[in-house]
Amino acid sequence: MLIFRYKMRKCVVYGGCGGLGREIVNYLKIKGVWTLSVDIGSNDAADANVLVSLTDGWTAQEKNVLSAIGVVLKGEKLDGVINVAGGWAGGNTVDPDWVKNADLMWKQSVWSSSIAASIAAHHLKTEGLLVLPGARPATGGTPGMMGYGMAKAAIHQLVKSLGSECSGLPSGACALGILPVTLDTPMNRKFMPDADTSTWTPLTEVARILNNWLENRERPSSGSLVAMLTEKGNTFLLLEN
């Protein structure tokens, strides 16, 4: 008699304690995916957690995160690495804090995306998925949020490089950048109470799309930047490159 053993899919969610990260962890758990959250705090809904120390520099963060993930995985490979870490800060060149804000945006978005790429290079399966957080406004000028725009534009370039040959990712791996406009989060509702929320993308819809890609369904080609647009409550995808 043949016995088929089902192997649970495994996924790292970098930024698993944020609003979107928690939604993704919860959605993947419902779909039977084993999840590992990487963040500055623990997500009790995840199967495992790796904590990031804010006192570590960029290289120390990478070294410590990779080491901790290796201990947790014990040689097992990942089906996906999804990074949704980041934040937002405004400011142009006359704002006295604009460089300070740019530094924060770089640490939150570019550091985490670079480390997520390293995780994928070391632990992703053949034909696995890597997702990094870009932003559609950063495909053009962002004079009111220069630091944010610079960081997101750097991620866009990283995604294109990861989607090219000799990037270091496993054979057949798919690297994608998501480019949301406005996500329907409690914080956005709090600070923009009069906005037209019918154009905001629900977190559950983002999680659904990412799970489809994790299952290798409806994936764009590796290196693609994928805008997530919502009109009248309906979300659709648009390739930006």
- With a CB cutoff of 8 Å and minimum separation 6, the contacts of 130 are 80, 81, 82, 116, 117, 120, 124, 162, 169, 173, 174, 175, 176
Distance, CA of 7 to CA of 225 (rounded, Å): 30
118 phi and psi angles, rounded to 5 deg:
-65, -40
Strand-strand pairing, 174-180 and 48-51: unpaired
Distance, CA of 54 to CA of 107 (rounded, Å): 10
In the set 6, 14, 27, 148, the catalytic residue is: 148
27 is catalytic: no
Helix (H, G, I), strand (E, B) or coil at 65: helix
**Among candidate residues 208, 194, 195, 200, the one with its CA nearest the CA of residue 182:** 200
Residues taking part in catalysis:
148
